[in-house]
Amino acid sequence: MSHDDLIARRRVLGGAATALGALGLSSWAQAQGASPAALPPAKPLPAYAAWKNPAALVVHSGTTIETRRSAFGSSVITPAQQLYIRNNLPAPDASILDKRDEWTLEVSGVKQPRSLSLAELKTLGLETVATVLQCSGNGRGFFPSKPSGTPWTVGAAGCVLWSGVPVRTVVAALGGLAEGAVFLTGTGGEKLPEGVDPLSVVVERSVPIKALEDCLLAWEMNGEPLSLAHGGPLRLIVPGYQGVNNIKYIKRLSFDASESKAKIMAHGYRMTPPGAQTSPDQASVWEMNVKSWINGPAADAGPVKAGRVQIHGVAFAGTKAIERVEVSVDGGDSWHTARLVGPDLGRFAWRQFALSVQLPAGTYQLASRAVDTAGNVQPADRVENAHGYNNNSWRDHAVKLVVA
Amino acid sequence: MSHDDLIARRRVLGGAATALGALGLSSWAQAQGASPAALPPAKPLPAYAAWKNPAALVVHSGTTIETRRSAFGSSVITPAQQLYIRNNLPAPDASILDKRDEWTLEVSGVKQPRSLSLAELKTLGLETVATVLQCSGNGRGFFPSKPSGTPWTVGAAGCVLWSGVPVRTVVAALGGLAEGAVFLTGTGGEKLPEGVDPLSVVVERSVPIKALEDCLLAWEMNGEPLSLAHGGPLRLIVPGYQGVNNIKYIKRLSFDASESKAKIMAHGYRMTPPGAQTSPDQASVWEMNVKSWINGPAADAGPVKAGRVQIHGVAFAGTKAIERVEVSVDGGDSWHTARLVGPDLGRFAWRQFALSVQLPAGTYQLASRAVDTAGNVQPADRVENAHGYNNNSWRDHAVKLVVA
C-alpha cells in the first residue's frame, strides 16, 4: 500500500471515530495509546471479535479483518487483539466454549478409530509451537487483475504461539495410522446452512501426510484459551501451511488415500491460471513460500527526518527457516543484508529484520527480499493466478518512504 | 495457594459477576471463553488497566493486580491483558501517550550528556528481547510471618517481549561513559505529590553498571506500543533483574559513582533481616534468583481424572538460562526430570516445562525445582526477610492435586 493510498484512506475514515465511541470501543485504543496514525476501522468489529483493538485493524467484512501494516510493530509476536481474521463460514455460537473440555474430535484412518474429548487430548501430550498464520490471499490487493476476494495487502498474517497436543502423539495413542494414508484431512465444526449439499460449504481441507510430523491440535493461542474468533475450543495447526489448512473448531480428523471432495478443497484455493476454471488437478495452497515485507518506518506516519533511519520488517518461508534478508532503498537496484533481530522462535515463525541506514532528504522505494535455508529466494514478481493466491513478490510489497 | 484456599476465594467472589457485567467488562471474558474456574476479580480494574481481562486477574488494589495461577496457560508468553501490575506511584495521566515521539529522556554520566526525544531514540537502534518481569515481592503470600505489602503468590510475574534501543547503543552515541560510572540509575516520570521531599517518593533505582550490556529502552511490549499501565511511552528494561528496577515512564538515565539516594533505593527493596530496620548496607533486590512453579493442572479446576496427567509450569533464573527442571508428585521425596517445552526465547525469558505422569486416585503434593546453567539449584526454603522479597522456595510454591 503506497503512502498516497493511506492518506486517501485516512480521509475516507475521518468520520468513523464518533461512531466507534458510540459503540464503546474507543477506550481500548486510548488506554493502549494508539498513535494518531492508527485509525479506527470504517466498519465496526463483529460481536465475536469485539474484544480486538479496532485501531490496529481494517474491517473488510464480518468474516475478513486485516491488521494494519503500521500496527505490526517491531516485536516478533502478533498479539491476539490485532491478529487478522478470515472465516470461510460464520463463527459458531459462542456457547461452544461453555464447556471446552467436553468438545469432541472424531479420529479415523488410524488402527483404533474413535472420538476423544478435549479433556482426554489434554492428558496425551503438550507442546508449544510458534507459527506464521497467513491467509493464502494475503497480497491479493497488489494484483492489478483485481481477482475477486478480499484485497488484503500484508495484514492477513501474524506470528502466534500455539499450545496443544502433537497430532503424531494422538495417532500413536490410537495404534498408529491405518494402511494407505496419503492425506491428513481436517473438518471444521461450523453450523452448515440448511438445504444445500454439505460438501459445497463444509470447511474441510486435506494436506499431504508428511505434514503429520509437525501438526498440533491446539487449545491455546498466545497464552490464552483459544478464542472463538481464532477457532476455539480446538484448532488444527499445520505449521508452515497457508491459513485455510489450519481448521478451526475441528470436529473430525482423518487419514485417507485421497483428498477431501469438499468444494473448498477440490475447487477452492487452487493456483488456477488467469482466465481458467478451477480444477482439482491445479496446485492447492499448501506450504507457504518465502516472503518478507517492511513494516517500518510506518508508511502512514508521514515523512521521516533526514539522517539515520531504522528499517524493519518480517520474513518467513513456510516450513523452512530464514537464512537472510536483504533490504533495498532504491526499488531493488542495490541490496544490503539486514540484521535478524530478537529471539528465533523456530522455523515456522517469522523473523524480524532491521537495517540501519543514513538517508538524506528524498523519496525512497523500500523493498525487502528473503532467502530461506533451502536457497529459495523471494522473487521480484508474483505468480499470476485467477484468485490472487500465494503472492510473495518483493516488488509488490515495496513501500515508498518520504524523507524530509 | 492451596486448593482449599481457592475454593474459599471462589465462595467470597461469587457475587462479583453481576457488578462486573454492570461495568461492561464481562464481554471480554465471554468472547475469549473464560473457563468457569477463571473467576472475576473482587475489585474492578482501575481505568488505566480497564482493557485487561478481569477473569485472568486478582485486583489487590488500583496499583497491585495479580495474574491468576490458572490463567498462565501453557504457552511461553504472557499476553498484556493478563500481565500483572505493580506501580509504586499512581500512573501518570494518559495524555503522556498523546505524542509518544516527543517524550524526552535526559542522559547524564556520559561524555556528551543531553536530552533525546523518543523519535531520536528510535533512529539509533532496534532490538527485541524476551524477559521475565517479576515483582520482587512475588511469593510474599507464602511467608508465614505475613510481611506488610501485597500477598502475591505466583502471579506478580510474566514473560513478555520488549522492543527498543539497547542502552549501550545510546551510550555509544553520546560518546561513551564518563569516568567513574559504577551504577546505572533510572528515574521515573510519575507526577510527585506536592509538599514532600521528592527523594522520599520518586521512583528511582540504581543497578550495577554490568547490567548496561543487556539493558533496553523499550517503547513496545508484545508487539504493541507500550501501554500506560506498563510504563509507556518509554521504559527501562533491565533483563534478569526484579521488576522494580525496570523504570516506567523513564525521564532520566544516569551513570554515577554511587547509588541513588532516593528512599525506594536506599531503604526500599532491601533484604532486611526479620525484625531489623532497613538500611543501605543490606542487599538490594537486583538479579532474580532461580525459581519455578507449576501452573497446571490448575489447582482451582477441581479434581482431575485418574490416569495420565500433564503437569506443566515455568522456570527462570534471572540473567542465567535454565539447565533443567525436576518435578515431584510426592512433596519432594522423589524427583523426575521434566521436558523443556516450546521455543527458547533466550536466557532472560522463562522456559515452559512439562512432565507426563500416570496418577492413580489420591492426593498429591506437586512441586518443581529448577537448576540454572551456573549450577544454582532452587532451594527448598525461602530466605526469611522483613519485607518478603526474593521468595524462590520450591516448598512454598508446591500445590496440592486431587486425582479422583
Nearest to B236 by CA among B260, B259, B207: B207
Q: Is B266 on the interface with A (CB under 8 A)?
A: no
What span, in angstroms and rounded, lies between the C-alpha atoms of B122 and B106?
Answer: 15
Chain B CB contacts of A224 under 8 Å are 32, 53, 56, 71, 73, 79, 81-82
- Percent of chain B exceeding pLDDT 90 equals 88
pLDDT above 60 for B188: yes
Amino acid, res. B31:
A
Amino acid at B205: R
Please state the pTM of the whole predicted model: 0.90
Tell me whether residues A232 and B74 touch, CB distance under 8 A: no
Residue found under cell 510481611: B147
- Nearest residue of A to residue B80 by CA position? A79
How does strand A104-108 pair with strand A250-256? parallel
A76/B128 touch (CB, cutoff 8 Å), yes or no: yes
Q: Rounded mean pLDDT of B310-324?
A: 98
**Signed CA dihedral, A383, A384, A389, A392: sign only:** positive
Average pLDDT over residues A36-50: 73
A81 at interface of B, judged by CB pairs closer than 8 A: yes
Q: Do A73 and B220 touch (CB under 8 A)?
A: yes
CA-wise closest residue to A164 among B294, B325, B366, B352: B352
Q: What band does A309 get if pLDDT is binned at 50, 70 and 90?
A: very high
Tell if the CB–CB gap between A161 and B224 is shorter than 8 Å. Answer: no
pLDDT digits (tens, 9 = 90+) for B70-93: 999 899 999 999 999 999 999 999
How confident is the model over B328-340, as pLDDT tens digits? Answer: 999 999 999 999 9
Give me B233's grid cell. 511511552
In three-state secondary structure terms, A31 is: helix
**Across all residues in chain B, what is the average pLDDT?**
90
Q: Are A245 and A239 in contact (CB under 8 A)?
A: no
Which of residues 181 through 240 in chain B touch A, CB cutoff 8 A? 220-229, 232-233
What is this model's ipTM?
0.89
A160: closest CA of chain B, how far (Å): 10
Structure confidence at residue B14 (pLDDT): 30
Closest listed residue to residue A76, CA positions, set B239, B222, B230, B80? B222
Angle at B141 (CA atoms; ends B344, B237), nearest 5 degrees: 40
Q: Are B148 and B164 in contact (CB under 8 A)?
A: no
Q: What is the pLDDT of residues A72-103, one digit of tens each?
A: 989 999 999 999 999 999 999 999 999 999 99
The SS3 of residue A11 is: helix
CB–CB of B30/A53 below 8 Å?
A: no
pLDDT of residue A115: 98
| Helix/strand/coil percent split, chain B, to 5 | 20, 30, 45
Min CA distance, A185 vs chain B (Å)?
25
Per-residue pLDDT for B365 more than 90? yes
Pairing type for strands A57-61 and A64-67 reads antiparallel
How many angstroms separate the CA atoms of B40 and B68, rounded? 10
Instruction: Give the pLDDT confidence score for residue A301 in this predicted structure.
Output: 73
Higher pLDDT, A73 or A358: A358
Q: pLDDT digits over A259-272, tens only?
A: 999 999 999 999 99
- Interatomic CA distance for residues B143 and B391, integer angstroms: 8
d(CA B302, CA B401): 8
Q: Are B32 and A224 in contact (CB under 8 A)?
A: yes
Residue-wise DSSP of B242-310? -GGGS-TTEEEEEEESS---SHHHHTSSB-PPTTPPP-TTSPBS-BPPPEEEEEES-GGG-PBPSEEEE
Return the higher-pLDDT residue of B203 and A301.
B203
Give CA–CA dist A227/B132, Å, rounded. Answer: 25
pLDDT in tens, A117-137: 999 999 999 999 999 999 999
Minimal-distance CA residue of chain B relative to A72? B223
Q: What is the DSSP string of A163-222?
A: EEEEHHHHHHHTTSBPTT--EEEEEE-PPPPTTS-HHHH--EEEEEGGGGGT-EEEEEET
Other C-beta atoms lying within 10 Å of the C-beta of residue B210: 11
Q: Can you give the pLDDT at residue B29?
A: 37
Which of A281, A284, A286 shows the shortest CA–CA distance to A243? A286
Cα separations in angstroms, B352 against A101, A218, B72, B244, B301: 22, 16, 11, 24, 20
Looking at residue B160, what DSSP letter applies?
A: E
End-to-end CA distance of chain B: 20
DSSP helix/strand/coil, A253: strand
The closest CB to that of A310, out of B56, B126, B161, belongs to B126
Q: Does A125 reach chain B within 8 Å, measured CB to CB?
A: yes
Residue type at B66?
E
Cβ A369 vs Cβ A378: under 8 Å: yes
Listed range (A234-243, B17-26, B30-39, B230-239) with the worst mean pLDDT: B17-26
Best of B82, B159, B224 to mutate (most A CBs within 10 Å, chain A): B224
pLDDT digits (tens, 9 = 90+) for A383-403: 999 999 999 999 999 999 999
pLDDT of residue A29: 37
Task: Give the span between the Cα atoms of B232 and A31, in whole angstroms.
Answer: 10
**Partners of A330 in beta bridges:** A365
Bigger pLDDT: A292 or B299? A292
Cβ-nearest to B33 among A97, A122, A341? A97
Contact B342 A76 (CB under 8 A): no
By percentage, how much of chain B surpasses pLDDT 70?
89
Note whether A341 contacts B227, CB cutoff 8 Å: no
Peptide bond connecting B297 to the previous residue in cis, omega within 30 degrees of 0: yes
In angstroms, the CA B238 to CA B136 distance is 14
Residue A302 near chain B (CB below 8 Å) = no
Q: What is the DSSP letter of A7?
A: H
Q: Could B224 and A305 be called an inter-chain contact, meaning their C-beta atoms sit closer than 8 Å?
A: no
- The residues that bridge with B124 in the sheet, in sequence order, are none
Measuring CA to CA, how many Å separate B279 from each of A274, B140, B198, B268?
A: 77, 20, 19, 8
- Does residue B355 contact residue B311 with C-beta atoms inside 8 Å? yes
Going by the DSSP 8-state scheme, the letter that residue B198 receives in this structure is H
How many residues belong to chain B? 404
What is the phi/psi pair of residue A105, to 5°? -120, 130
Which of B77, B98, B118, B304 has the most A C-beta neighbours within 10 Å, making it the best mutation to test the interface with A? B77
Cell of A370: 528473503
**Does residue B136 contact residue B241 with C-beta atoms inside 8 Å?**
no
Interface of B with A in 310-329 (CB under 8 A): 310, 312
Nearest alpha-carbon partner for A82 in B231, B68, B225, B130 = B225
pLDDT at residue number A12 = 31
Distance between CA atoms of residues A203 and A199, nearest Å: 9
* Contacts for A34 with CB less than 8 Å, ≥ 6 apart: A53, A55, A56, B225
pLDDT tier, B262 (very low <50, low <70, confident <90, very high otherwise):
very high
* Residues counted in chain A: 404
A78 touching chain B per CB within 8 A: yes
- Whether B204 contacts B187, CB under 8 Å: yes
In the chain, the amino acid numbered B179 is: E
The alpha carbons of chain B give a radius of gyration, in whole angstroms, of 21
Q: What is the DSSP letter of A287?
A: B
Residue of A nearest to B221 (CA): A75
Task: Quickly state the pLDDT bin for A2 (edges 50, 70, 90).
Answer: very low
What pLDDT does residue A298 have?
77
Among the ranges given (A121-135, B29-43, B187-201, B377-391), the one the predictor scored with the smallest mean pLDDT:
B29-43
The secondary structure of A306-361 as a DSSP string is SEEEEEEEEEEBTTB-EEEEEEESBTTSS-EEPEEES----TTSPEEEEEEEEE-S
| Residue A371 pLDDT exceeds 90 | yes
pLDDT at B301: 73
How far does A271 lie from chain B, in Å, by closest CA?
33
With contacts defined as CB-CB under 8 Å, which chain B residues touch A309? 123
What pLDDT score was predicted for residue B298?
A: 77
pLDDT of residue B234: 98
User: pLDDT (tens digit, 9 = 90+) per residue, A372-385?
Assistant: 999 999 999 999 99
Please give the pLDDT value at position A62. Answer: 94
C-alpha cell belonging to residue A357: 541506514
